[in-house]
Structure 1
Amino acid sequence: MDRSEASNLFIASTQAMFASGAPLMQRVIGNADGEAQSWSHYPESDVVNGGLSARWFYHCHAPEERGENEHGHFHLFVGKPALPAEVTSIMPAPPTKQKRADVVHVAALSINHSGLPTDWFTVNRWVTDEWLYPASSITDMLGKIDFRGPSGDPLVNDWLTALVALQREPVARILAERDAVIARDTVQAEDRGAEILSSTPLNLETLLD
């Protein structure tokens, strides 16, 4: 998706949500006031669509564990089989007897209490229990990530698809910063004290420039 198409999709989905009287958080959480329960998974099953098995879910940490103005955040993924077979994980998932989703985390997107996106961030391997792959293998796919399809709310899917396409550069940057942190050997994959590895603000005023 090129920048012009992404801009048009972002504007159209935002306007359609406003016109419907059901804004982003109401659609994601599924109630009229957009109030969420801490640690609940919205929707209950991930939204999964498209050839890359692009998926998302939203949740909120407990109030004392959130940023000052954070309501919650989206976690965005692609399916592990979407990556080239020759790409090697930089943080493999440890063996487990439990079922594990075959996913690679792209980034997380913070949402404030007004329902607006504020920051992108990356997380350590244990946070999303994934196979953590090199930034370059993910950034190559950023222009192809498409959450649209039969699963989930169509306007939310449109909005997230457009936003990722518009924000390829900052997302690629924080993925590279994440890899640099890991390369310094200061972070262990299962260290519960190391959760967010890189982040950057999202400036809505310049989003469509």
Structure 2
Amino acid sequence: MLDWDKLTILELEEMAEAGQYVLNCYRVLAKTSDNIVGELIKGHDTFYEMEHYPPGDVFDPETHSQYYYHAHRDGEHGHFHTFLRSDGMMAGEEPVSGQSHMSYMDERDDNICHLIAVSMDNRGFPLSLFTTNRWVTAENWYAAEDVVAFVDRFEIDVAQPSWPVNIWLTALIRLYKPVIRQLILERDQKIIEWQSTYPERDVFEDRDLEVTSEFKISVEEYLTEIENRLTEKLGKQLAG
């Protein structure tokens, strides 16, 4: 999935640093027998499918990043959905022209773009990263090159509802940025292929197409690979 040879030393160092933030969040939470998911559903006697946790989502008013956690898929406890709202976008970054217009787009006064979803297990650790079709999150559809740029701007730098979770999610996305970039490109390719196969359907609202790309992850194994690749590249650099 990932072409490691194309990653620079700087990129690998930034990924390694982000990985340490991820591990540190696990360490801090483990001291009190807490975990990432538990932080978000704490105080709720019953965990309901499809409901957003926390209620009202988490939003950073400075970066215009947003996320929520909910559940509705088999094989996981639930998943995070991450977004960037239009105030975090630059001039010229507009939704894809020609896409259908749905009533849910009129229920808000700005645009919103889904970035990546993070599947979680029952212990509060990530299982996979995946992208979704437009109808899944009622987003506005942006082209892959814009979404990739939006990923770089995602940051939740607020204390509530859980500072460790906010740090963890921000760092996880930075850690897996090259993988997420590839998943977003695969997302657009899937849309093109689906549209070609079913030209009579509105591809963005087709309930038969929900997940557009997915990749299973293991933070520990990924960090080991990063360290190995970094050591190799630094060795070659020193050797001249």
Please give the range of the TM-score, normalised by the shorter of the 2 chains.
0.7 to 0.9
Structure 2 equivalent of residue 30 of structure 1: 42
Matched residue type, 1:125: R
Structure 2 equivalent of residue 83 of structure 1: 89
Matched residue type, 1:121: F
Q: How does 1:120-199 map to 2 (within 5 A)?
A: 120-184=129-193, 185=195, 186=197, 188-199=203-214
Which of structure 1's runs of 4+ aligned residues deviate more than 6 A?
A: none
Structure 2 equivalent of residue 8 of structure 1: 20
Shift in Å, 1:87? 2.6
**Would you say the 8 A contact 2:135–2:205 is kept in 1?**
yes
Q: 1:12-31: per-residue Cα shift (whole Å, max 9, x none)?
A: 21111111322212101114
TM-score normalised by the chain length of structure 1: 0.86
Q: Distance in 2 between matches of 1:97 and 1:24?
A: 31
Structure richer in strand, relative to its length: 1
Identity percentage of aligned residues: 28
Matched residue type, 1:49: D
Q: 1:137-182: per-residue Cα shift (whole Å, max 9, x none)?
A: 1212333321121442101001101100000011111100011112
Could you say which structure has the larger radius of gyration? 2
Q: Distance in 2 between matches of 1:116 and 1:96?
A: 32
**Would you say the 8 A contact 2:105–2:140 is kept in 1?**
no
Matched residue type, 1:94: M
Q: Distance in 1 between matches of 2:219 and 2:20?
A: 15
Shift in Å, 1:50? 5.0
Structure richer in helix, relative to its length: 2
Matched residue type, 1:70: E
Shift in Å, 1:96? 4.9
Q: Distance in 1 between matches of 2:182 and 2:128?
A: 13
Matched residue type, 1:43: P
Residues 93 and 120 (structure 1), Cα distance of their counterparts in 2 relative to 1, 3 Å cut = farther
Residues 192 and 138 (structure 1), Cα distance of their counterparts in 2 relative to 1, 3 Å cut = same
Q: Distance in 2 between matches of 1:97 and 1:116?
A: 33
Q: Distance in 2 between matches of 1:92 and 1:169?
A: 30
TM-score normalised by the chain length of structure 2: 0.76
Q: Distance in 2 between matches of 1:121 and 1:97?
A: 23
1:99 to 2:111 alignment: no
Q: Which runs of 5+ in 1 are unaligned?
A: none
Q: Distance in 2 between matches of 1:202 and 1:18?
A: 21
Matched residue type, 2:220: E
Shift in Å, 1:98? 5.5
CA RMSD of aligned residues (A): 2.3
Residues 150 and 92 (structure 1), Cα distance of their counterparts in 2 relative to 1, 3 Å cut = farther
Structure 2 equivalent of residue 43 of structure 1: 54
